[in-house]
Structure 1
Amino acid sequence: MTSVSILSFIVFMSMFSALPVFEAAEAGDALAFLLGVVLSITGTCACLGVYARKKNGQI
């Protein structure tokens, strides 16, 4: 459980470190970027979960 919290902390810090890049742009652009990052990570984890279940024969 500790590794999950450390990983989530690292992910959030990397997302917030990208915010200064968008200082010149509008806030909507930064929010769209963060939403895209979150959806990409979620999609990757979902695909890895499906792959792992197929590999173990659970699906």
Structure 2
Amino acid sequence: ELERMNQEINRIGVNINQITHNNNSALYSREDKHRLYVFLKQIKTLVSQVQERL
């Protein structure tokens, strides 16, 4: 279970790097950027919850 969660967190990190790269290339609209911000906050909360369980 822990290994699976670690792999998923790693995949999320890779996706965040891709999003950041695309964001810096002006690919996203203002609305897209806001939605990404909301999703990243949710991810941060989930990662914190996982860390608390470890």
Normalising by the residue count of structure 1, what TM-score does the alignment of the two structures yield? Answer: 0.46
CA radius of gyration, larger in: 1
Q: Which structure has the higher relative contact order (CA within 8 Å, separation 6+)?
A: 2
Normalising by the residue count of structure 2, what TM-score does the alignment of the two structures yield? Answer: 0.49
